[in-house]
Structure 1
């Protein structure tokens, strides 16, 4: 919440009438003034000591000494001079002195001088006795000053000032006796001073201004009519002063404050406009270097924020930020208000973010608010800390909602916890901080990052804090506090969440939630900007109760509340897409209940408007687009394509390049199965080309982003070299930022580590903004309108020569289909997989996982003895046969039939083998299509009898690999890097890895006839360090990894090869691009095993090697036997290098090179089956080929 502007208090206490010395025209310093006064005081002391009471000038000397000492105090603020001045003043007016009060011309001059000293003493001490004496003295002075005397207005002014001080002292002390008589007396005295002073008198504007202040003070206490009179007096004061007058800016600022107060009370827009005009003028008249300038700029910024909040003038947000930036630039480092100004700038930037969705605003806001906290911590200002921590918590939360980074939410909770701890128990702000902390815990409770147990704990804590907030504010202020509706609605939200989690059949929890939301709405006037929030939350609670109890009245009321919320929300507000989405859901419920077509049409309209908004949370708009599409399918399928396209186009906005790969992979989960539905809808409408394009956009999203960052820019460089150069530089930095290693903290330096993490993240987001800006520039160049946008199928396949079909399989709850690309020109072949469904696929995946767990090949790597596998049981054999049989009958065989291929029960000759590349989705990612077949007898058909299989994570990755392969010719004797890890530290022994590489080396030596042996680089054991391997990979097109593989299900980018000095993880591989890379054999466990939460993303080591530039990659779906891997590896290399003992070796020489790698693995696995038996599925099935 934005802090209130600091009102200026320019109380000027005039000294008694005394002519100023004429200026000599020479500028003097304060030190010169002090020296001069000190000299005068010294000389006057001598005169006073020699003077006698009966002397004619005795009283005049005492009075002059009093004035000099008072002036000396004002210059130096040394209280000893003030005390001495009071002593001299009292001596001047002693009862023994017959002329104690007056001179010949002024009967009260000396007593008035004492009153001035007493007034100054109160200002210093704050002591009630001092102000009481000042008032009693002042009353005597005014009483003794005749009506026509020239000094009477000034003395009335001084008396009024003292009354005002005592009024404020009484109100600031809760134990004091509260009375309004002092402020009444102050106003009365000021009115007399104004009436007695002609307009041409230079003091009249000051009296008018002070009268306005006093009236404002009484207005705040009880009297509304005083505000109008105050504004009238202040306006007159301003009008009487010329622009060059030193006090004009101060009076304008005071007038602006009064006008703002009346606007806040009466909501008359004219007052706000006048307030802004007056404050602008005040700022313009305030000279540079004046300490008041930042204060007045801050007040002007607040006025712009107020006008935006109430009237929606978007430009005011920029104006407010501009003013606040000037405030920070002008404020000295030790300015007391600097933390408040920094925090307010942060809040203005948050408001700007809500309009523009520019993450830079949030990053800068956090920086400024953190600076504010650091200052108040350094200055030991405990009273200021809670509000600043609360503001920072709100900003972190806003960024969490946009980026869905759990770190931001945890930081928000930490800051809110600090705000709560630092707030006194009975302080009214404690309720706000309790409610805010509860709200943050609520959000963490239903974040996908939070486990069930932690979520239950968070929601219970949230309700406890929020209940305490409501009870506290009710005790302190009843229903009068404007924050109470917010506390009520926060508590209602948490109660609804817990009710939804509980599954309770009763309605107690949701009834209480609705009661709180209703009360929040009732307490909030229509003009309040938060009323739409309270209405929307009430509607959500009513909808929840409808879902449970099916009372049609609830959904009717929910729809009504949603519509009211939308009506109160201006266009462009970031919350409007969410309100529209919620309205659509409620209308959809009523449509399902009453089957009223108008409800469906209205819901579609709401979803459409939400999804097409220019501001708001991208994930909310994505959900709205999906709901729009699904409802269109029920009403009219054709428009659903527009909706699905909107949804798919929104994915890059929440799976954003400005976040690191781990955050993007977490964001991918939010997309769910939407792209499967989109593809299914397009297939239903026979839009097969669109279906293939959407499959590409919806899967391997992060890999696709990395590949786009590595796209050659030759054509763009020819057209616009500067843009191309900028894109290249930013792309390199952006890729490094996205895949870079996390910051390593220095022990004992946790704070600097956190700052560095924040700075790194902000720099990353700035790079993403630069990248998008450069892309926008590039797309304005003729011929580059679609530069680096998702490619249409024709552009994607351009230059690709397909030598075998690619089967892309989509699994949706309503239908399963294969789309087969046979070549670049033939129509896409659609094959409906009517005998297969998503549920069956999930059951097969679970069965496979169970079977592998029983075989100890899907357990954690650290628990396995080695790559060897235990004896296979009949039950497990039966499970595998069942899985492979279903895959054959329901998936593979229908596709082969659609392609015109005939299933065979016996192996075909090597030259008649066909080839297919599988591009699969959903649970099929984890199922071995390449081994599909019937295994009851040797005569049963099996895929490997007729067809070699390859896989690809996406069509784009396959096409890119094929293009690299066709543009380069493989050397007859390639340079090979082979590494083996027989005794990796902290891992079990793999003695077979040494024999495996030795066998490959022998094949290589045979192939080269002993020549170029140095081109085979073997790193064994401790030689295979991360650094050594990465260095050699850049110079050896082929590589072989014989080591442990580590699959991290919770953090897939940490999946790795276990090398001698640590893991070579997927994150590191992602950051590499090897220009000469060709073949990689990953003879390690689970290198082609994806992440079960994100099956479409292919987050595994094989995919990482493909994106790093390798054209062909051999991997494993699960753990492999330590004695099996050497056989397979030897056979693969023998075929690839044409050094085996195959009787058809000469024919292999003429085999299409595009399929040579697939055939090499096909033959090697065949040899393994011959050795172990065809039903030893766990041993031979895991070996797979990816790429070309």
Structure 2
């Protein structure tokens, strides 16, 4: 019946087993040789029923029976290790209910003695080791002494090694090992531990038959593991998996089970964390319901009651932040106070409860202004820090929260000491070696802002720490897709830091931070593709291994991700998780190899961010690079000029972030109106409502000229149009990245006045970062000997959009011009333009011209792409291509240079993707283009390049002349159409990126 209970979990089964065991002890003499076995079995059955019902009388009786069994057994009894284990386990079980340290010490003592007297190869050794390990873990959960966890992991690993394949206890042992690694992860934040945790719990579920009574706890353990990894990485797939497994565990456990409160609170925590990420109110309601259910179901005096109360308080705090309902915050504070009264001194969860209590009081202070609340908040948060081990993974979060409370106090009292104390705690949080990178980065940013309030130039150091933490927030341990998600809330950090460096006249630092913090994902991709020729001469083996790991890591990081599917099998989930583990292993090896490379003489700066002197020494001679740093408080340009010793700062006092945002809205509205006007269904669809910010393109370009471009030209010494126009490479930030700087000017429909627009002074190009351009300059020499091969792609009928017949005309005109010049061309039209065929041909053609529909995905930029015959060729697929012959791409499609407004500093659009794939230059579009004039612009563009080729007497196209060719092509269109609003909309969207 005991075995049947283990399968079914039925109280009737275990009660019947207990009855039978009791009768057995009564039917034999007290000195019978089998009496210890009967007593031990009775104790085990009572322990099992206690685990099911929580009745303390059962577990106390179990301990008495086990102790009596040991007293009646000879010391050399072959079953003595088993009797000792059973007694130790009963003490451990009671400890989990009462929290009495004497019980867990007794458990460890008896388990250790059992291990000592058991032969290592004995069949019972794995189980004995697991029980000892479990007791060490239980003591850690009470005391927080980390060596207990390390010891437990060692014992669990040894137990797994000693267990034969296919043994019935294997699932439980794997689950136990996973739980111990999860606990260490919570202390140290090591991603290897959490990855291994998930692996072991998944295997335990896979090996456990459906319907088995332990299935619910396996699902709960796996749900907790996904939740903990989500807290570290922010991957929404992890929190979705966590919720699904917690739902499985709560749905498969009886309503009267003693573990239901624990499982309900875990499910509530998962819902709460998903709400914090998505803002879905359904998740918040579920979080409160489940955490409240846990408290309601828990028996009085349960050792975990303080933690469950704390979880409920956190859920109510989250709702208070949303509604500012003082009932919620007052209730949460009362609940947290009760939790603190119940938790024993020295408990491992005490710092967490103190920190949460402080956060509750701080939140109420912000609403009421009661200084007693903020004083109590600071006191409790300080105590939480005092009780937390120095290198605990949550230390940075506790210090960050204390800094927030001190700043809240300062904002009301204006006492400088509070601001100084806040800065100190933010600094400590930011400089922790452990903890969530996001918490540390936010702390660094707030540290810098505190120092600004104090007029302390040490703010530069704080921003430096924040910039250094950016690669940790979006680390190579994650896929490209998830790295972008991590940057959503901090996309303006780099601009803020650069603005501060410029304010303090550290132009060199401003440039270095700009390059280090901008286009982080592209930079990481380039690092993985870095040539190692010099390293190969120094250490060929290290160079080859570095290349191999870099390539494998790039492949793993750029893999396509499908949302977590609840209806997938556990085997399918294990397969997905194996990719995660491989990726993590590769990332860790890459970091080790990088450290190894840097330890070699002459390689200390390998893949480190470039210094200002290095950047300035490699600038192209063709013209300046102009970075425009747009920040909420200031607007500055930083000009990099060939031959200059320092960057030139240009203050744009007549322009602002707010004006750029307004111009961007005006442009968007104007383009919408034009789209409706051009359609023949304006009356049927309804025209857009009149908007107060409505302005035409003339107005927008004039504002850009007066506020941005002309002040920069004056500072550069361009007082009048030169005879030979130089290049200017623009690198705009914020809303300016969505505005046509290259076309800035004062346009008169009746006739253009020379010197009133940018194109009179310079030919414009755009670049994501300065380093991107410098790399393209270095690559130029490798292209001069290559024959031009052009891939033409025409997709006039690609679904789901309306046909664009102009693409047929465009590509055939271009092919005709190329063939006349004896340039090799391949044309893929309609059904020939499949994703596989296009990517294959791109690998062997240095030039590509794509005439098709394109789209920018509003929330997931890597899903932007071109529409081909058999579907969309996404940006993620493009950046995977490391095209050895890539030279130039002409993207004759709509919105191929439109980035994501949440990640403006990452420059995520199709044109940037082509640059990342290796192309030297790209012609792209900022908005929808006119199908009528696109063929003519393309014909003029290639005509200019062919003429340049002829004038030089060479037999290949030169991509370095593409910017001039596009400028000439648009000038020709302007000469024919004039400068009306309609004419401007025709040519302004065409822009050049790269060299």
Pair in the same fold by TM > 0.5? yes
- Evaluate the alpha carbon distance shift between residue 838 and residue 1077 of structure 1 in structure 2; reply closer, same or farther with a 3 A threshold: same
SS in 2 for 1:1137: helix
SS in 1 for 2:345: coil
> Does structure 1 conserve the Cα–Cα contact (< 8 Å) formed by 2:625 and 2:730?
yes
Does residue 1185 (structure 1) correspond to residue 992 (structure 2)? The answer is: yes
> Does structure 2 conserve the Cα–Cα contact (< 8 Å) formed by 1:743 and 1:756?
no
1:1107 matched residue in structure 2: 916
Q: Tell me the distance in 1 between the aligned counterparts of 2:308 and 2:468.
A: 37
Correspondence list, 1:24-43, <5 A: none
Offset from partner CA, 1:708-761 (integer Å, 9 cap, x none): 100001111122222211110111111111223347999997555433322222
> Does structure 2 conserve the Cα–Cα contact (< 8 Å) formed by 1:1037 and 1:1076?
yes
1:391 matched residue in structure 2: 221
1:461 matched residue in structure 2: 286
State the Cα distance separating 1:678 from its structure 2 match. 0.8
Q: Tell me the distance in 1 between the aligned counterparts of 2:533 and 2:745.
A: 47
Comparing 981-990 with 1161-1170, which one deviates more in the overlay?
Answer: 981-990
> Does structure 2 conserve the Cα–Cα contact (< 8 Å) formed by 1:893 and 1:903?
no
1:482 matched residue in structure 2: 303
1:597 matched residue in structure 2: 416
> Does structure 2 conserve the Cα–Cα contact (< 8 Å) formed by 1:566 and 1:580?
yes
1:88 matched residue in structure 2: none
Q: Tell me the distance in 1 between the aligned counterparts of 2:21 and 2:334.
A: 54
> Does structure 2 conserve the Cα–Cα contact (< 8 Å) formed by 1:746 and 1:753?
no
Q: Tell me the distance in 2 between the aligned counterparts of 1:399 and 1:874.
A: 46
State the Cα distance separating 1:663 from its structure 2 match. 0.9
Correspondence list, 1:500-579, <5 A: 500-502=321-323, 504=324, 506-579=325-398
Q: Tell me the distance in 2 between the aligned counterparts of 1:270 and 1:420.
A: 32
State the Cα distance separating 1:424 from its structure 2 match. 1.6
Q: 1:365 aligns with which of 189, 197, 211?
A: 197
SS in 2 for 1:602: helix
State the Cα distance separating 1:333 from its structure 2 match. 4.9
Offset from partner CA, 1:21-63 (integer Å, 9 cap, x none): xxxxxxxxxxxxxxxxxxxxxxxxxxxxxxxxxxxxxxxxxxx
State the Cα distance separating 1:217 from its structure 2 match. 5.0
SS in 2 for 1:912: coil
- Evaluate the alpha carbon distance shift between residue 442 and residue 258 of structure 1 in structure 2; reply closer, same or farther with a 3 A threshold: closer
Correspondence list, 1:641-720, <5 A: 641-720=460-539
State the Cα distance separating 1:1118 from its structure 2 match. 0.8
Q: 1:955 aligns with which of 751, 770, 775?
A: 770
Offset from partner CA, 1:575-602 (integer Å, 9 cap, x none): 1111110000101111121122221221
- Evaluate the alpha carbon distance shift between residue 299 and residue 394 of structure 1 in structure 2; reply closer, same or farther with a 3 A threshold: same
> Does structure 2 conserve the Cα–Cα contact (< 8 Å) formed by 1:811 and 1:837?
yes
2:904 matched residue in structure 1: 1095
> Does structure 1 conserve the Cα–Cα contact (< 8 Å) formed by 2:616 and 2:644?
no
State the Cα distance separating 1:564 from its structure 2 match. 1.6
Q: 2:425 aligns with which of 606, 628, 633?
A: 606
Q: Tell me the distance in 1 between the aligned counterparts of 2:638 and 2:470.
A: 23
Correspondence list, 1:952-1031, <5 A: 952-969=767-784, 974-1006=788-820, 1008=821, 1012=822, 1015-1031=824-840
2:962 matched residue in structure 1: 1157
Q: Tell me the distance in 1 between the aligned counterparts of 2:796 and 2:346.
A: 74
1:154 matched residue in structure 2: 31
- Evaluate the alpha carbon distance shift between residue 441 and residue 935 of structure 1 in structure 2; reply closer, same or farther with a 3 A threshold: same
Q: Tell me the distance in 1 between the aligned counterparts of 2:799 and 2:858.
A: 22
Query: Larger relative CO (CA 8 A, sep 6+): 1 or 2?
Result: 2
1:775 matched residue in structure 2: 594
Q: 1:430 aligns with which of 244, 251, 260?
A: 260
Counting matched residue pairs gives 968
Comparing 301-310 with 757-766, which one deviates more in the overlay?
Answer: 301-310
> Does structure 2 conserve the Cα–Cα contact (< 8 Å) formed by 1:390 and 1:419?
yes
2:6 matched residue in structure 1: none
- Evaluate the alpha carbon distance shift between residue 284 and residue 470 of structure 1 in structure 2; reply closer, same or farther with a 3 A threshold: closer
Offset from partner CA, 1:337-390 (integer Å, 9 cap, x none): 433322111111112223443322212111211222233334x31x32222211
Does residue 849 (structure 1) correspond to residue 661 (structure 2)? The answer is: no
2:10 matched residue in structure 1: none
1:135 matched residue in structure 2: 26
Q: Tell me the distance in 2 between the aligned counterparts of 1:747 and 1:595.
A: 52
The Cα RMSD (Å) is 3.8
State the Cα distance separating 1:500 from its structure 2 match. 1.4
- Evaluate the alpha carbon distance shift between residue 416 and residue 874 of structure 1 in structure 2; reply closer, same or farther with a 3 A threshold: closer
Q: 2:974 aligns with which of 1159, 1165, 1169?
A: 1169
State the Cα distance separating 1:251 from its structure 2 match. 6.3
Q: Tell me the distance in 2 between the aligned counterparts of 1:876 and 1:130.
A: 85
Does residue 883 (structure 1) correspond to residue 700 (structure 2)? The answer is: yes
> Does structure 1 conserve the Cα–Cα contact (< 8 Å) formed by 2:63 and 2:90?
no
> Does structure 1 conserve the Cα–Cα contact (< 8 Å) formed by 2:140 and 2:348?
no
- Evaluate the alpha carbon distance shift between residue 822 and residue 550 of structure 1 in structure 2; reply closer, same or farther with a 3 A threshold: same
1:902 matched residue in structure 2: 719
2:709 matched residue in structure 1: 892
Q: 2:741 aligns with which of 912, 924, 929?
A: 929
State the Cα distance separating 1:857 from its structure 2 match. 8.8
Offset from partner CA, 1:233-262 (integer Å, 9 cap, x none): 97x999x857xx745645665686698799
> Does structure 2 conserve the Cα–Cα contact (< 8 Å) formed by 1:856 and 1:864?
no
Offset from partner CA, 1:449-483 (integer Å, 9 cap, x none): x2x5xx1111122222222222222xxx23x1122
Q: Tell me the distance in 2 between the aligned counterparts of 1:634 and 1:320.
A: 48
State the Cα distance separating 1:165 from its structure 2 match. 7.8
State the Cα distance separating 1:707 from its structure 2 match. 0.5
> Does structure 2 conserve the Cα–Cα contact (< 8 Å) formed by 1:531 and 1:565?
yes
Q: Tell me the distance in 2 between the aligned counterparts of 1:879 and 1:159.
A: 97
> Does structure 1 conserve the Cα–Cα contact (< 8 Å) formed by 2:202 and 2:570?
no
> Does structure 2 conserve the Cα–Cα contact (< 8 Å) formed by 1:622 and 1:650?
yes
Rg (Cα) greater in structure: 1
- Evaluate the alpha carbon distance shift between residue 794 and residue 968 of structure 1 in structure 2; reply closer, same or farther with a 3 A threshold: farther
1:48 matched residue in structure 2: none
Q: Tell me the distance in 1 between the aligned counterparts of 2:24 and 2:114.
A: 37
> Does structure 1 conserve the Cα–Cα contact (< 8 Å) formed by 2:888 and 2:959?
no
State the Cα distance separating 1:1185 from its structure 2 match. 0.5
Q: Tell me the distance in 2 between the aligned counterparts of 1:688 and 1:1054.
A: 37
> Does structure 1 conserve the Cα–Cα contact (< 8 Å) formed by 2:47 and 2:93?
no
Correspondence list, 1:789-828, <5 A: 789-796=608-615, 799-823=618-642, 825-828=644-647
- Evaluate the alpha carbon distance shift between residue 160 and residue 801 of structure 1 in structure 2; reply closer, same or farther with a 3 A threshold: closer
- Evaluate the alpha carbon distance shift between residue 347 and residue 172 of structure 1 in structure 2; reply closer, same or farther with a 3 A threshold: closer
State the Cα distance separating 1:443 from its structure 2 match. 1.1
2:9 matched residue in structure 1: none
- Evaluate the alpha carbon distance shift between residue 620 and residue 127 of structure 1 in structure 2; reply closer, same or farther with a 3 A threshold: closer
> Does structure 2 conserve the Cα–Cα contact (< 8 Å) formed by 1:796 and 1:956?
yes
Structure 1, gaps ≥5 residues long: 1-5, 7-121, 139-152, 184-213
1:914 matched residue in structure 2: 726
- Evaluate the alpha carbon distance shift between residue 864 and residue 1154 of structure 1 in structure 2; reply closer, same or farther with a 3 A threshold: farther
Offset from partner CA, 1:752-801 (integer Å, 9 cap, x none): 54333222222222211111111121122122222212222333455443
State the Cα distance separating 1:825 from its structure 2 match. 4.1
- Evaluate the alpha carbon distance shift between residue 879 and residue 292 of structure 1 in structure 2; reply closer, same or farther with a 3 A threshold: same
TM-score calculated relative to the size of structure 1: 0.76
Offset from partner CA, 1:1135-1186 (integer Å, 9 cap, x none): 111179xxxx96999xx97962221111111111122221222211100011
